[in-house]
Amino acid sequence: MSDFRAVLCTVESDSHMWNLVYLQLLLEENGGDVVNLGACTPVRDVVEKVRSGRPDLLVLSSVNGHGAHGARVLRAALQAASGAAVPSVAGGKLTTAESDNDRVRRELLAAGWTDVFTGDDAVPRFVRFLDAGKARGFDRWHAPEAVVAPWDDVPLVGTEVR
Ligand code: B12
């Protein structure tokens, strides 16, 4: 008997698979019944699986550097489809620079993701999220405010190449 049902996916551009294997095992170890949609997951497959399976949680993992873009695309598709509302988290290496992590996290939270897990402490923070979700429901989660790294607020005005 599982504690929750999760759909696991990545973005259409991402062919890495060991991150998905790792996440599936981590979710199962924490009580999840997991449908792993595999690498280069088509957006329409994720939307269909969420609508038909009614999971408790959608988990997106991406490491190829294009995950932030793919997460925005997927969120828009889920919001446009009826019956596809689901608590959703994204994590991994979502861009090609660690210094993007907090900015991207704030953008994805604003776009409707429940939480975003990047950086060295992603997995322990995610396990705490799972514990809280199992106890109170994933839709009750309030993502802690993103830490703003000093370099994220430096305006880029005047640095463009001419
Ligand atoms: C193996 C590998 C490949 C293999 C993948 C084979 C396969 N079928 O899986 C191949 C050779 C195909 C490949 C291709 C590419 N790769 Co590659 N690849 C790797 C490599 C060496 C290991 C990835 C891996 O399997 N790790 C093991 C898993 C278990 O760990 P993980 O993926 O890091 O995930 C961990 C965390 O990120 C986190 N996590 C991940 N997702 C989530 C989600 C949540 C919710 C949470 C909480 C945590 C979490 O938890 C995991 C455990 O700690 C990494 C470098 C590295 N050492 O990490 C590069 C790497 C991921 N690849 C990279 C790149 C750029 C590419 C290519 C674009 C290269 C190219 N120019 O063609 C292509 C992209 C292909 C595509 N369309 O996606 C970059 C990504 C850069 C970035 N994001 O900044 C990396 C980081 C290498 C680098 N340092 O530049 N790659």
Structural element, H or E, at residue 68: helix 67-80
Residue whose CA is closest, atom 15 of ligand 1? 64
Q: Is residue 14 part of a domain?
A: yes
In a domain, 49, yes or no: yes
What percent of the chain is modeled with pLDDT above 70?
90
Tell whether 161 is covered by a domain: no
User: In this predicted structure, what is the pLDDT of residue 152?
Assistant: 58
Please give the pLDDT value at position 145. 81
CATH of the domain at 21: 3.40.50.280
- Does any domain span residue 99? yes
Answer yes or no: is 162 within a domain.
no
Tell me if 56 is assigned to some domain: yes
What atom in ligand 1 is closest to the CA of residue 65?
A: 83
Is there a domain that residue 160 lies in?
Answer: no
The 10s digit of each residue's pLDDT in 46-74 is 999 999 999 999 999 999 999 999 999 99
Q: 148-151: long-range contacts (C-beta < 8 A, 24 or more apart)?
A: 148/102, 148/106, 149/99, 149/101, 149/102, 151/99
Could you give the CA distance from residue 111 to residue 34 in angstroms, rounded to a whole number? 25
pLDDT computed for residue 1 by the predictor: 75
Q: What is the residue range of 27's domain?
A: 4-153
Closest atom of ligand 1 to CA, residue 67? 83
In which band, very low, low, confident or very high, does the pLDDT at 141 lie, cut at 50, 70 and 90?
very high
Q: What number is the average pLDDT over the span 145-152?
A: 61
Distance of CA 42 to the CA centre of its chain: 15
Tally of domains in the chain: 1
- Per the prediction, the chain carries an average pLDDT of 92
